[in-house]
Chain A
């Protein structure tokens, strides 16, 4: 049963408002009784939240992690520590994001991802992704990089 009604409770009274006070009183009691029931559970939402809690990441960061795994982790490592399987072939080696201060600078990170590390005066080994990834995907990556740098280890 659904009611557009300002005060939680007087369900019957609202619908049959003109009916009579004595009837309303009965329902008032019922309404007050109902108001103290615990909020219903949302098992499906709980399942997703439990999953995201394991990762300890927000929605955007979780999306970023997936993209990171696809595009970045080969060099930067799964956890952004600069220990990807290809890292040993690179000179200079990829930095450890978890201790990097610049990783928290969203504008800087966005620029490096979109235009490549050469664009900020570093080596050209980190390529530009601005033409391959959608802007939203880069935002997710920026969010995940921020999460990596903020992680307490």
Chain B
């Protein structure tokens, strides 16, 4: 007989071992599933909930259990963060440990999670349900790990496309720098379309510049002006020499009206007085102090030729049609004194007599012209005969979506992210890719970081229109007629704005100025502008305007820039209103900020002459909602009732009425001529 046909005992042992292994691995699978991080997080949450809530709240609290998610089909997002971050919208968990703590601030009110989710602002992998895959820290696992708070503003920029996004100062500063540094001249940047950056036209630069200065300027602009808008193009000595030859050969005919000027009779003291009176520092800085609209004048004497400066001051618009500089109404003697003062006072040493123009080397000029075109000088500087170089640099549309793995970082050990690439590129444009045409801007690290942060928001992602908050640039305002001529001459729109178009230096837009100010006051003020608010340093220049001109402007303002909503205010006040207004003035502590009969603070305007200065309708409108007319104003919105507004208006518009005929004098204002 054959042996019984059963399995040998050795196989039974194997079977037993494998069977146990099978059971073990199967229970491991269950354990693996049941032991998910989020489950233990939820049970810890329940323990904390019992501690932070009273029984009544607990009874009201929704049962926590299972995966939670915010689904945003419009944004193509699923955020499961709230599976663990359970107390995020519940103030009771303000002191609870992470991940259960309440979201700080009022962000969830302004950005409700059911509309924005979590990763829209924070990045990270919203679909993940464990700490590691959610990419709370930079990780190999996910392309867009959560942003640290320091750079989170980059994501504000995804929706907030205006230049000055609210509550995102880093982003705002980055965007400001993008415009102010001229990035828009060479790069196509979404959101910055139509924005331009330009340096002075160079058609007659040979007449303007002292040759000795030009070489140093081209080699390193910051050596002349620490905050120069011109970047360092890292030009070679050869390029500098040829550019110099080329630029100095540019001598387009200028009306150099200085032929009859008797320079030997120049009075620099009179020039100094004029310099102060005209309020040049509103736009031009000296030793770093003053405005930034025009170039700093600290070393103007090293740079420009005397005849050119005289001619420019006499009529800036003929030499530089695009300049923001106004044309003062000065006599030739005044211009001579001012020119002499500027050149004498603001220079480093004796520049010596202006050398005669050197004979031009045609080869060097041609080479300079070639360099001028190649390095894209024409992107910022107008020069007849040379077309605008356009966007020489690459478009930055969707730059944040470029593959960080395929970029160079110059140094090993740098985390390969688009932010770091942009940052390093901005700091040292030639360190990453050589040769680079991009000039060096000598940004400070924080400036480079802010710009990089602003650029990181430029993603290709198509957002639903309902999420995008744009700020279209306003249509340009160009006044016509007699007022238009005056506005052009005095460059009103360099500082003032109409309907959002124009300058931002002045806090008084023209939009409703005819309804705000008394007509007579405007005319008087234009003749001799003083300070309405002492605490403000930038002041209206003293134009030396003619009386007719002032009347023309005042009439135009009074008839054109009106706001019906303000004009229709009932100005028949009762004495009771006026009396009560006086009480309210004291009750609200207005004197803390406003001067009245030499008593009170310096923060707001002097109110002594309010009745002569402001129209009552405007006083009422302003008091009712100051933020509406001037966002960011220091005038608080007291939430006044209409009756209180009326009382205060009655009181304020009565101020200064009795002194109607006396000339306006203000503490701290410039002495009149």
Q: How far is the CA of A71 from the CA of B445 in the complex (A)?
A: 28
Cβ distance B103 to chain A, nearest Cβ, rounded Å: 12
Q: Does B415 lie within 8 Å of A40, measured CB to CB?
A: yes
**Are A86 and B414 in contact, with the CB atoms below 8 A?**
no
Interface residues of B in 141-196 (CB under 8 A from A): 141, 143, 148-151, 166-167, 169-170
CB distance from A85 to the nearest CB of B (A): 7
Q: Could you give, for residues 448-469 of chain B, a 1 whenever the CB lies within 8 Å of some chain A CB and a 0 otherwise?
A: 1100110000000000000000
Q: Identify A89's interface contact among B107, B110, B424, B601, CB under 8 A.
A: B601
Tell whether A136 is near chain B: CB-to-CB under 8 Å: yes
Q: Which residues of A contact B446 (CB under 8 A)?
A: 47-48, 50-51
- Asked if B593 and A86 make an inter-chain contact with CB atoms under 8 angstroms apart, the answer reads yes
Whether the Cβ atoms of A90 and B601 lie closer than 8 Å is: yes
Q: Identify B592's interface contact among A50, A66, A71, A89, CB under 8 A.
A: A89
Q: Which residues of B sit under 8 angstroms from A23, Cβ to Cβ?
A: none
| CA gap between A71 and B603 in the complex, in Å | 10
Contacts of A140 in B (CB 8 A): 105
For B330-352 the 0/1 string (1 means CB < 8 A from A) is 00000000000000000000000
B587 and chain A: residue at smallest CB distance: A124
Q: Which residues of B contact A86 (CB under 8 A)?
A: 535, 592-593, 601-603
B618 at the interface (CB under 8 A from A): no
Minimum CB–CB distance from A62 to chain B (whole Å) comes to 8
Whether, in the assembled complex, B273 has its beta carbon less than 8 Å from a beta carbon of chain A, the answer is no
**9-residue interface stretch from A25-33, A97-105, A126-134:** A126-134
Q: Does A132 lie within 8 Å of B169, measured CB to CB?
A: no
Partner of A4, one of B106, B133, B603, B636: B133
Interfacial chain A residues near B422, Cβ < 8 Å? 44
Chain A 18-58 interface 0/1 with B at a Cβ cutoff of 8 Å (1 = within): 00000000000000000000101111110111111000000
A40 partner residues in chain B, CB cutoff 8 A: 413-416
Chain A 70-92 per-residue mask, 1 if CB under 8 angstroms from chain B, else 0: 11001100000000011001100
Residues of chain B within 8 A (CB-CB) of A75 are 592, 601, 603
Contact (Cβ within 8 A) A41 B414: yes
Q: Which residues of A contact B638 (CB under 8 A)?
A: 116, 127-128, 131
State whether B414 touches A43 (Cβ < 8 A).
yes
Q: Are A136 and B453 in contact (CB under 8 A)?
A: no
Inter-chain contact B151/A47, CB cutoff 8 Å: no
**Which A residue's beta carbon lies closest to that of B632?**
A70
Asked if A59 and B150 make an inter-chain contact with CB atoms under 8 angstroms apart, the answer reads yes
Given contacts A48-B150, A48-B449, A139-B105, contact A74 B535 (CB under 8 A): yes
Smallest beta-carbon distance B116→chain A, Å: 15
Q: Which of B133, B603, B627 contacts A132 (CB 8 A)?
A: B627
A135 within 8 A of B: yes
CB–CB B420/A89 < 8 A: no
B160 to chain A, nearest CB (A): 14
Residue of chain A at shortest CB distance from B409: A43
Instruction: Kindly list chain A residues whose C-beta atoms are within 8 Å of the C-beta of B587.
Output: 124
Decide: B140 and A2 in contact? CB cutoff 8 A: yes
B104 at the interface (CB under 8 A from A): yes
Q: Is B589 a contact of A60 with CB atoms below 8 Å?
A: no
Bound-state Cα–Cα, A3 to B602, Å: 63
Residue of B nearest to A42 (CB): B415
Query: Which of A51, A63, A126, A131 makes the CB contact (< 8 A) with B639?
Result: A131
Q: Is the CB of A137 within 8 A of B167?
A: yes
**Do residues A60 and B449 form an inter-chain contact, with CB atoms below 8 A?**
no
A-chain residues with CB within 8 Å of residue B104 when the two chains form the complex: 60, 139
Determine the residue in chain B with the shortest Cβ distance to A72.
B634
CB–CB A47/B601 < 8 A: no
Determine whether the beta carbon of B593 is less than 8 Å from that of A124: no
> Hey, which chain A residues are within 8 Å of B419, CB to CB?
42, 44-45
Nearest CB to that of A49 among chain B residues?
Answer: B150
Within 8 A of B (CB), among A125-153: 125-132, 134-137, 139-140
Given contacts A44-B422, A86-B593, A127-B588, contact A136 B535 (CB under 8 A): no
Decide yes or no whether B637 CB sits under 8 A from chain A.
Answer: yes
Question: Which residues of the partner chain B approach A42 to less than 8 Å between Cβ atoms?
Answer: 138, 414-415, 417, 419-420
Query: CA separation between A45 and B167, bound complex, in Å?
Result: 19
Q: Could you tell me the distance between the alpha carbons of A43 and B150 in the complex, rounded to whole angstroms? A: 13
Please indicate the chain A residues that have their CB under 8 angstroms from the CB of B634 in the complex. 70-71, 74
CB proximity of A137 to chain B, nearest CB, Å? 7
Q: Which residue of A lies closest to B133 (CB)?
A: A4
Q: How far is the CB of B465 from chain A (nearest CB, A)?
A: 24
B571 to chain A, nearest CB (A): 26
Q: Report whether B167 and A134 are in contact in the complex, using a CB–CB cutoff of 8 Å.
A: yes
B141 contacts A2, C-beta separation under 8 Å: yes
**Residues of A contacting B448 in the complex (Cβ-Cβ under 8 angstroms):** 44, 47
| Minimum CB–CB distance for A36 against chain B, Å | 14
Partner of B423, one of A43, A50, A126, A131: A43
Q: Across the interface, name the chain B residue whose C-beta is closest to A48.
A: B150
A44 near B589: Cβ-Cβ < 8 Å: no
Query: Does B500 interact with chain A (Cβ within 8 Å)?
Result: no
The smallest C-beta distance from B56 to any residue of chain A, in angstroms, reads 22
B415 to chain A, nearest CB (A): 4
Rounded to whole angstroms, the CA-CA distance of A3 and B140 in the bound complex is: 7
Known: A47-B445, A74-B603. A136 touches B107 (CB 8 A): yes
* A44–B423 CB distance below 8 A: yes
Taking a contact as CB atoms under 8 Å apart, the answer to whether B589 and A127 are in contact is yes
B47 on interface, CB distance cutoff 8 Å? no
Residue of B nearest to A136 (CB): B106
Closest to B147 in A: A45
- Is B109 among interface residues, defined by CB-CB distance under 8 A? yes
Distance between Cα atoms of A140 and B603 in the complex (Å):
23
Give which listed residue, B105, B169, B417, B589, contacts A66 with CB less than 8 A. Answer: B169
Cα A135 to Cα B632 with chains together (Å)? 14
Chain A contacts for B582, CB-based, 8 A: none
Decide: B632 and A45 in contact? CB cutoff 8 A: no
B294 within 8 A of A: no
Proximity string of chain B (122-151) to chain A, C-beta cutoff 8 Å, 1 when within and 0 when not: 000000000001000010110100001111
Interfacial chain A residues near B656, Cβ < 8 Å: none
Using Cβ atoms and an 8 Å threshold, which residues of chain B touch A116? 636, 638
**How distant is the Cα of A60 from the Cα of B149 in the complex, in angstroms?**
10
Question: Could you tell me if B535 and A139 are in contact, using CB atoms closer than 8 angstroms?
Answer: no
Q: Is the CB of A85 within 8 A of B105?
A: no
In the bound complex, what is the Cα–Cα distance between A9 and B601 (angstroms)?
67
Within the complex, what minimum Cβ distance (angstroms) separates B591 from chain A?
Answer: 8
Please tell me if B600 contacts chain A, counting CB pairs below 8 Å: yes
- Residues of chain B within 8 A (CB-CB) of A3 are 140-141
15 A-B residue pairings within 8 Å (CB atoms): A38-B413, A42-B419, A44-B449, A45-B151, A45-B419, A47-B446, A50-B445, A51-B449, A74-B603, A74-B634, A118-B589, A125-B592, A127-B589, A131-B637, A132-B636
With contacts A42-B138, A59-B150 known, what are 8 further pairs, Cβ within 8 A?
A41-B413, A42-B415, A85-B535, A86-B601, A90-B601, A125-B592, A127-B589, A128-B637
Closest 7 CB pairs of A and B: A124-B589, A44-B423, A47-B445, A131-B637, A40-B415, A127-B636, A125-B592
